[in-house]
C-alpha cells in the first residue's frame, strides 16, 4: 500500500466531505467511499482469499475484489481498475447498490465505509490473480456461500455478508 494513497471521505449518505490518506482513514475510523466487486461465471461467484500481507483482514475470504476509488475517480472505473490489478480481469461492471458499515479489527484499524456494490459476468473460470493481493481464489454458489457464512463467519471479511445481501436482491429481480 502506497503511503500517499488517498481515499474520498464521505458522510453516511455518500456525500463527499474531503480526502485523507488511506491508512489515516483506517486508523481514525473516518467514513470513506469503497467498493466491493462480485464476478459471476455460469451462476458461480468468484471469491478471493486476501493475501497474508494485507494490512487488515489478511487471509480472510471475501468477494472477488474490493478497494477504494481515488479522488476524482468514478466508482465503476475504480472497480474495473482494481479488478484488473488484483484478479487480472477486464470486465464490464454495473453498480447495484450501496451500504454503510463499521468494523473494528484486532490491529486497531477501523473500516467505516460507504461500500458500493458492483457486479459483472465472465464466461471462463480461468483467473490469474496478483499474488501480492490474493492468496487464493475459488468459485462458489450463493447457496454454498450462505451456508459457509453461517457456519464459519470468522473466515470471511465483515463486509461480505452486507454486500452479498445487495447482490442477492439484484439477482432475484
Catalytic residue positions?
66, 113
Residues 6+ apart with CB under 8 A from 170: 96, 97, 119
Are 113 and 159 in contact by the 8 Å Cβ rule? The answer is yes
Cα(13)–Cα(123) distance, rounded to whole angstroms? 35
Give the pairing type, strands 65-67 and 32-41. antiparallel
Cα dist. 48→6, 11, 45, 73, 156 in Å? 24, 29, 10, 24, 10
Amino acid at each position: 500500500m502506497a503511503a500517499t494513497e488517498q481515499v474520498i471521505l464521505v458522510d453516511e449518505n455518500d456525500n463527499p466531505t474531503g480526502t485523507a490518506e488511506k491508512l489515516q482513514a483506517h486508523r481514525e475510523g473516518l467514513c470513506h467511499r469503497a467498493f466491493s466487486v462480485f464476478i459471476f461465471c455460469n451462476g458461480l461467484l468468484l471469491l478471493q482469499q486476501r493475501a497474508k500481507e494485507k494490512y487488515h483482514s489478511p487471509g480472510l475470504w471475501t468477494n472477488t475484489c474490493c478497494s477504494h476509488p481515488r479522488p476524482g475517480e468514478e466508482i465503476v472505473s475504480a472497480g474495473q481498475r482494481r479488478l484488473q490489478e488484483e484478479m487480472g480481469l477486464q470486465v464490464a461492471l454495473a453498480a447495484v447498490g450501496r451500504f454503510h458499515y463499521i468494523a473494528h479489527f484486532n490491529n486497531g484499524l477501523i473500516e467505516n465505509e460507504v461500500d458500493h456494490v458492483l457486479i459483472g459476468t465472465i464466461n471462463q473460470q480461468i483467473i490469474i490473480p496478483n499474488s501480492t493481493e490474493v492468496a487464493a481464489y475459488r468459485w462458489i454458489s450463493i447457496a454454498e456461500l450462505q451456508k459457509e457464512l453461517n457456519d464459519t463467519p470468522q473466515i470471511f471479511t465483515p463486509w461480505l455478508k452486507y454486500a452479498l445481501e445487495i447482490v442477492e436482491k439484484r439477482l432475484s429481480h
